[in-house]
Structure formats: structure tokens, C-alpha cells
Amino acid sequence: MTPQLKIGIAGLGMVGTPLKRYFEEIKEYRRGENLFLFDIDKKKGYSDDINRADAVFLCVPTPMTAGGHADIGAVELALKMLNGEKIVIVKSTVPPGTTEDLQTRFPQHKILFNPEFLTESRAWEDMINPDRQVVGYAAHSKSYASVILNLLPMAYFSSPGALGTYEFLRLNSTEAELGKYAGNLFGALKVTFGNVIKDFCDAISVASGRASAGADYENVRVMLSHDRRIGASWLDAGYHNYRGYGGYCFPKDTSALIARGEEFLKKIPSDSPEYMRLAAGLNFLKSMREYNRTLLKTQGLTEEDVSVHDKEWIQKKMNKEV
């Protein structure tokens, strides 16, 4: 029988806290025995020696830099804290190719990528009942992916796959990283699309000069959302009492993927089909971002104003800061 791995969690925020609760309540791990917690914020009270762990989950923030890139400095700092050989599971959202790069730079560890798919309002429910559970592997960590997958809650779709799941599929870390970004950017895209349709509704009412000839976006939205291929998610044009996409993830991840794409363009021949397609795709994403910034501006808001967690936005509204 394989001995139980001792688990470490670095970063006890929105992602690390539900993970901690899962190992304590569901897996019955005990802090100080087989569960070790660390957060750089001393006020949180987590200063265990995570080097006592065999496998360490990195749940640290990757905020947006002034240039729009994802700042992975906290991920690198956490890796530098680890001694010996560890299984390292990155849960922080990082640009495609990051895990492979980290594996090259920290060859003593086996580094994997396990994206989180938590919503702020249902973080615990999403933790224990995920619709996806993916452990992407780097070149030298493939054999450890199933070990970590079997520690986590089972999902309808999982990679590399487990007994009882619908489909077996092995994703490498770069595919998993891009899949994480793709989910968030699709959310941003759908919010944008809904708002463009609302713009049409508003313009029709103004252009016609007759209220009876106008269009109510809420009615259009309900009709659209009942197309089973589309659904209702992300179509509420007034979510959080402002129009456009915001939150901690959507703006920063949109900019981070654009920035990563621009890095790739520099490494691709400019006359190649790959260059032309990616350049056009990046222009599409940039147009989406610019529309969102304009939409926010018409409401007296900036991207920075709305790039916060839900609780922070609610507090801002209560304090009338925006």
C-alpha cells in the first residue's frame, strides 16, 4: 500500500482555504501531522514548516503587472522556499508554458498544474463537487499526475482519468493552463456579447423614437438563454450593478493571455499562417477588452475599479468609493 502523502498548502486565500477545509474535513488530515499550512500574511496565522510535506499545493496570487502580464513572482518565491525533492502542484492561474518552464528551472521537484474552477459565491460547493478535475503534467512529472488526482474530489471530467469518470484524457500542463484561461476568457466574451446585444436594445429604442417599438434586453436575454447550446450564465448585463465584466479574474486573465500571445508572436515567422492567425485572434481579444473598458468608462468606472473580489466590490459600494 502506498504510504499517505503529507500535504502542504502555500497561500490560504480564496483557493487555498477550501483546499485546506477539504483535506481536514473530507480526507481527515491533521494539521501538524500530515497537513502543513503557510501564508506570507502573518495575520492569517499559518506559519507551518511546509518542507515537512511530500506534496505542496501552491495557491498564491498571480496579479496583473502594469504591462498586463501575469506576475508569477509569488509562485517562484514559494518554490524557492522548498527544500529537497517535492511534488509541487501549482493551482495559481499561470500563463501557458509556465509549469514546463518552472520544471526546467527547478528540476529537483516534480511540478504539476491543477487549475481551480471555484466561484466566489460557491467556493466550497465547487471544491467538493467539481465538474472538472485536471492535473496537467510537465515533461518530468507525468507519472505523478494520477497520484495527485486520486487525492482530490472526483469530477465528471478528469485528467489523467480515474475509475468512475466519464472520459479518460491526459492533458499536459500547458494544455491545462490554456484551458483555465480559455474558460475565463469565454466568460468575459459572453459578458461582452450580452452587453453588445443590450446596446442594440437601447439604440433601437432611441432610434425609433417610440417606446413601443423598442426592445427590452431582459426579454431578449431570457429568450436567448433558453437555447440549450447557450444557457443563462454571464448574460446578466447588470451583474454587480454595473455593465461589463470585472472581478478578480476576468480582466487580469484577458490581459495576461493577450500578453502571452504577443510573446509567442515574437518567436514565430511573421509570414507564417500561425503568425497571421494568432495576430488576428489577439486583435479580436484586444477589441473585446477595449469595448469593456469603454463600457466601464461610460459608467464612471475603470478596469482597476472592478478588478476586485466580490466581497471587496460590495464593500466599495457600501463605502461609496465608486
Q: Kindly report, residue by residue over 177-223, the tens digit of the pLDDT.
A: 999 999 999 999 999 999 999 999 999 978 877 766 678 999 999 99
Domain ranges, residue 269: 183-319
Alpha helices in the chain (DSSP H): 16-21, 73-81, 98-105, 123-128, 145-149, 173-208, 217-225, 250-265, 273-297, 303-306, 310-319
User: Does the active-site annotation cover 59?
Assistant: no
pLDDT at residue 145 greater than cutoff 80:
yes
Average pLDDT over residues 27-50: 97
DSSP one-letter code for 141: T
26 and 143, same domain (yes or no): yes
Of the candidates 145, 171, 197, which is a domain's last residue?
Answer: 171
165 and 30, same domain (yes or no): yes
Torsion, Cα of 147, 148, 149, 153 (10° steps): 130
Single out the catalytic residue among 75, 118, 249, 258.
249
pLDDT at residue 281 greater than cutoff 80:
yes
Q: Is the dihedral of CA 58, 60, 62, 65 positive or negative?
A: negative
Tell me what pLDDT residue 1 has: 41
The predicted-structure confidence for 101-125, as pLDDT tens digits, reads as follows 999 999 999 999 999 999 988 999 9
Tell me what pLDDT residue 239 has: 87
Task: Label residues 146-174 b or e (16+ Cβ within 10 Å = b).
Answer: bebbebbeebeebbbbeeebeeeeebbbb
Terminal alpha carbon distance of the chain: 57
User: What is the CATH classification number for the domain harbouring 145?
Assistant: 3.40.50.720
Residue in the block written with cell 498586463: 68
135 and 272, same domain (yes or no): no
Total number of domains in the chain: 2
The predicted-structure confidence for 231-257, as pLDDT tens digits, reads as follows 999 999 988 899 999 999 999 999 999
pTM of the model: 0.92
